[in-house]
Structure 1
Amino acid sequence: MRRSSGVVLVVMLLAVLAGCSPAGPQAPETERNGPTGAVPAGLDRFYGQPLTWENCAGYAKADVDRGPLTTTAGVRCARLTVPLDYAEPDGDTITIGVLRKPATRPDQRIGSLVINPGGPGAAGLATAARLSGASTLDERFDFVGFDPRGVGSSEPTVRCLTDAERDAERADDDELDTSPSGVAKVEADERDYAAKCAQRTGKGAAMLANIGTRDVVRDIDVLRSVLGDEKLTYLGYSYGTRIGSVYAETFPGNVRAMVLDGALDPTQDAVAELVAQAEGFQRAFTDFVAWCVQRQDCALGRDANRAQARYQELTRPLGERPVDVGDGRRLSYSDATTAVIQALYSEDLWELLNTGLNELRQNRARTLMLLADSYLERGPDGRYSTTQDAFTAVRCVDDPRVTDKAVVREAQRRYKAAAPFLDDGRPPTDSLDACAFWPVPNSGQPHLPAAGGLPPVLVISTTGDPATPYDAGVALAKALGGALLTYEATQHTAFLQGSACVDAAGAAYLTDLRLPPEGTRCSA
């Protein structure tokens, strides 16, 4: 399951765009602020480069991003040049898409607030544009978003499947066949996927080898210098907290402040993380059921004890009999699961989930397909963003690959036990995923970060977060020696998403470096 910021997922689905007047055309403007602060040896030309700010329309690579990039007043975009491989700074280069909305009160400006929405693989330009109007922080900070290397407007872009191939993959429930022939077919498909990623991504395997968090944090430090900030002020959601913790470990002396919301536990391996996430989604499903059974129209009935069984009665038959949704498309079991996962990211989507499950009772699936399309970023024109490909590419180099079939089988067993509502009724499979066949080695691994000299950071963790469970935030705050702010709610991430308590605490920290008192809790 992809880990993205809840604010991104909900805004994408509901198409809630910032209420701003259109940004009129402006001539490009070149600006040089760097080099600023410490510059690693051999990287002077990158840390001191100018940026040419221009209109953002050409940077929108997905339909959902076009509105924020073209209608948010004051935003400008630029391309940052960085080494493809930091070990060879005189070799190939790539570019990073960057957006900036200047502080509205320049006389009170503190600096830049650099934002990452998560993923991995989520584009950050539109997120910064959307969030810039969510609080008064935009008075004191330039809101800065960036598309991590290989993502969105950054070039080259990681690309593995065509739109038609992605549709075909979604419609194919071969992973439900756990027989030896079924496993062999799944692994052949995964091997083919890995090969296509290397073939279709610009700069090929070299790009894939340098796509991970290790390299993204180096890009951020270049961006910090080029923006003219001696110290980094950073807001990271979900996987963006991993970026934050690795940056803190790599450049502890370059940090001014960090808000890390919806944390990943930096010490968890891929299996432990998957199981913990399954537990989180099970809790969110239980909360959804408690909400649903109070309604006359609950698709799962009025008995909470029977709701999980009724859910499985609705969804398991899709493995054999997908539901036609028109235009040659059918809702598969995997699509239905994706739709439910999407809706469990936020209570705001529970109404849609209940509607979708009621439709499924009538052999209709329009709403569930809409939810699945939103999660997988498929536009009305049938075109996909490259987020899913980038997610896989980063995941395959950020963690050691799992090639032991016994480990895979046990992981599947633990996953089904942790999230029984997602149990498809088949035995655990031992089929290897694409990372087992990845053409380059991993460049990262789980570990306890050592960030000596790091100033205090703020970690926000939500008690009912399905994607990044609460305990992971506790672990990250402890590992970084930071403060923990607890939000009592069922959703993924919290800052700048409507909680006055959370927003006030985060804003006080970012502006005045004042951390909330130990044990502070906010409630929905």
Structure 2
Amino acid sequence: MSYRKPPAVVVGVAALALLIGACASQPEGRTAGQAAGQSSPSGIGQAGQRSTPIGPGLDRFHGQKPAFKPCDAPKPTPDAPPVKAGCARLKVPLDYRNPKGRQAELALLRVPARGKDPIGSLVVNPGGPGFPGTEYAALTAAAWANSPITEHFHIVGFDPRGVGASKPALDCFTDAERERDAKLSSVPAGVDDWTRQETRRLAERCAERSGGRQVLAHVGTRDVARDMDVLRQALGDEKLSFAGSSYGTRLGAVYAEMFPKKVRALVLDGAFDPLKDTYERRVEQATGMQRSFERMAASCATSQDCPLGTEPGRATKVFQDLVRPLIDKPARTSGGRGLTYGQAVEGVIAAMYSKALWPAAIAGIAELKAGKGDTLLKLRDSYHGRSADGAYPDSLEATLAINCLDEDRHTPKEETALNRAWNKAAPFSDPGRPIKVARDGCEYWPVKPTLGYPYATGIKGLPDTLTISVTGDAATPHEGGIALARTLGGSLLTVEGEQHGALMAGNACVNRTVAAYLIALKSPSEGARCKL
């Protein structure tokens, strides 16, 4: 399985993961089990319950020494020089309460440091959840080829449990089903909504194709954080240096909560807000998406041939009028597949992850006015990681399964309320159909959620962390970055721009700040800012 990066521009950012994730939050508090103080099967069912009960027998995992053997690594561009990399496997218990039971096996990739006396390893994560980190490590090393970071650190990526080349791997649909738009989210509600039978079958199919119900019960972030501590020890590092983007900020924050004394440095880029539950965060994201759509429309309006018109205030209505007819009659495409309503909206949302993609979305909307959907379908396909032959990676299916353990579980009434709130906050994506009953795709998952909100609060003994937050980030709005930095008691680097995350943007100001922090543990001054 290959690493599926977001469309074209921001390499390694976990675009689309929040939006596509199957589980959202209820608008009123926690799940019934959490409200009653129940613990989950992993022993972490509520905020403040921070450690999984551990069975004896972990020494054999902690004593592993991965043998990295030369392997081919992906190139950022076809003409780029090859990246020298080594691959290995790491064994971890599937259930940390029963280390003698079934095991999972994580895929690792390491790009050796260029210097002779490296500080240690820098573990990287591209986000998702559900995106593999092995190929991302090679892409990161290539992007930082001339950075002092790659001189002082081995760059190490791992495919989290259930993801990419790790075993067992999460898988819920065939390529043919994905090609027919197999449902991965309740958004947009009002169009082809899940039925009770479909959500029950979804859990059954994911279990059948992924290795059983036990696998579905142990792919949440808290189990991955424990894996990351096994990896830290296997790499020979006394303390962890980590750089995570998007969902990777949740993984880093949860690791900090569970292992604060094992943290050396954390770079957290494009932050998940640890204080907001899923409902609040999804509505905040919808607001960010609408804001970016309106900024794109305002930029477009300076041209007389703008397909959204020259009055930005009317752009949402113009777009609705263009895409809503696709619910009943898809637009034609040159390949004969057609462009559906959901695909058109996904294509535009893909462009909300970077200002550099706005021209593609505008071109696609202009094309749609002429009755064709090729450009928006290409954006949608990039969004899903579809290859030219119709093959799909399992990344978004892994996103769905992992979110079933990380996000709040809720009833159809609560899911319906969430979708109505989404449409109100992001009317450009509102299909204009009444929402009768929206269902949580996770409602028949075999276990309760295991993360708990809020998380990463009240941590003692944690060294300074560095959160990077872009002011115009639609997927993880700037407010979440401010909240994460404040919650961890760490430093904040504010980046002025219009894209999701800045770690891989190739910006000199960001690169200098990150290098100083990782290498010398030198934090930026209060109020530090960069501009993309």
Measured against the shorter chain, the TM-score band is 0.7 to 0.9
Q: Is the 8 A contact 1:253 1:453 kept in 2?
A: yes
Q: Helix, strand or coil: the match of 1:169?
A: coil
Of the three residues 259, 262, 267, the one matched with 2:267 is 259
Q: Which residue of structure 2 aligns with residue 312 of structure 1?
A: 320
Q: Distance in 1 between matches of 2:208 and 2:275?
A: 33
Q: Is the 8 A contact 1:149 1:157 kept in 2?
A: yes
Q: Which residue of structure 2 aligns with residue 356 of structure 1?
A: 364
CA deviations 1:103-159 (Å, max 9, x no partner) are 11123x111110001000011112111111323111111111111111111111100
Q: Distance in 1 between matches of 2:115 and 2:75?
A: 26
Q: Which residue of structure 2 aligns with residue 512 of structure 1?
A: 520
Amino acid at match of 2:158: F
Q: Which residue of structure 2 aligns with residue 152 of structure 1?
A: 164
Q: Which residue of structure 1 aligns with residue 36 of structure 2?
A: none
Q: Which residue of structure 1 aligns with residue 294 of structure 2?
A: 286
Of the three residues 105, 114, 124, the one matched with 1:104 is 114
Q: Which residue of structure 1 aligns with residue 20 of structure 2?
A: none
Of the three residues 475, 499, 514, the one matched with 1:491 is 499
Amino acid at match of 1:47: H
Of the three residues 88, 101, 107, the one matched with 1:91 is 101
Q: Distance in 2 between matches of 1:75 and 1:362?
A: 48
Q: Distance in 1 between matches of 2:126 and 2:442?
A: 23
Amino acid at match of 2:438: S
CA deviations 1:363-409 (Å, max 9, x no partner) are 11111111111111111111110011100111001123111x33222
Amino acid at match of 2:108: V
Q: Helix, strand or coil: the match of 2:392?
A: coil
Q: Is the 8 A contact 2:7 2:379 kept in 1?
A: no
Range moving further from structure 2, 327-336 or 310-319: 327-336
Q: Which residue of structure 2 aligns with residue 141 of structure 1?
A: 153
Q: Distance in 1 between matches of 2:439 and 2:224?
A: 27
Q: Is the 8 A contact 1:12 1:374 kept in 2?
A: no
* 1:50 equivalenced with 2:101 (yes/no): no
Q: Which residue of structure 2 aligns with residue 423 of structure 1?
A: 430
Q: Distance in 2 between matches of 1:51 and 1:73?
A: 20
CA deviations 1:236-287 (Å, max 9, x no partner) are 1001110001000111010000000111111221211110110111111111
Q: Distance in 2 between matches of 1:177 and 1:413?
A: 8
Q: Helix, strand or coil: the match of 1:112?
A: strand
Q: Is the 8 A contact 2:419 2:438 kept in 1?
A: no
Question: Whose relative contact order is higher, 1 or 2, with alpha carbons under 8 Å and at least 6 apart?
Answer: 2
Of the three residues 435, 446, 450, the one matched with 2:442 is 435
1:437-476 correspondence runs (5 A): 437-449=444-456, 450-476=458-484
Q: Which residue of structure 1 aligns with residue 86 of structure 2?
A: 76
Higher-helix-fraction structure: 1
Amino acid at match of 1:116: N
Q: Which residue of structure 2 aligns with residue 394 of structure 1?
A: 402
1:299 CA displacement? 2.0
CA deviations 1:416-467 (Å, max 9, x no partner) are 1111111111223432121112122222211242321010101111111101
Amino acid at match of 1:82: V
1:9-48 correspondence runs (5 A): 10-11=10-11, 42-48=57-63
Q: Is the 8 A contact 1:290 1:304 kept in 2?
A: yes
Q: Helix, strand or coil: the match of 1:460?
A: strand
Q: Distance in 2 between matches of 1:408 and 1:154?
A: 32
1:405-424 correspondence runs (5 A): 405-424=412-431
Amino acid at match of 1:122: F
Please list every run of 5 or more consecutive structure 1 residues that lacks an aligned counterpart in the other structure: 14-38
Q: Which residue of structure 2 aligns with residue 33 of structure 1?
A: none
Q: Which residue of structure 2 aligns with residue 200 of structure 1?
A: 209
Q: Per the alignment, do residues 261 and 8 of structure 1 end up closer, same or farther by CA in structure 2, a change over 3 Å counting? A: farther
Q: CA RMSD in A?
A: 2.6
Q: Which residue of structure 2 aligns with residue 347 of structure 1?
A: 355
Q: Is the 8 A contact 2:5 2:12 kept in 1?
A: no
Q: Distance in 2 between matches of 1:486 and 1:172?
A: 33
Q: Per the alignment, do residues 139 and 7 of structure 1 end up closer, same or farther by CA in structure 2, a change over 3 Å counting? A: farther
Of the three residues 189, 197, 202, the one matched with 2:198 is 189
**Number of residue equivalences:** 484
1:174 CA displacement? 10
Of the three residues 245, 265, 284, the one matched with 2:253 is 245
Please list every run of 5 or more consecutive structure 2 residues that lacks an aligned counterpart in the other structure: 14-53
% identity of equivalent residues:
45
Q: Is the 8 A contact 2:184 2:396 kept in 1?
A: no
Q: Is the 8 A contact 1:5 1:118 kept in 2?
A: no
1:349 CA displacement? 1.0
Range moving further from structure 2, 78-87 or 42-51: 42-51
Q: Distance in 1 between matches of 2:294 and 2:393?
A: 31
Amino acid at match of 2:228: I
Q: Per the alignment, do residues 198 and 283 of structure 1 end up closer, same or farther by CA in structure 2, a change over 3 Å counting? A: same
Amino acid at match of 1:100: R
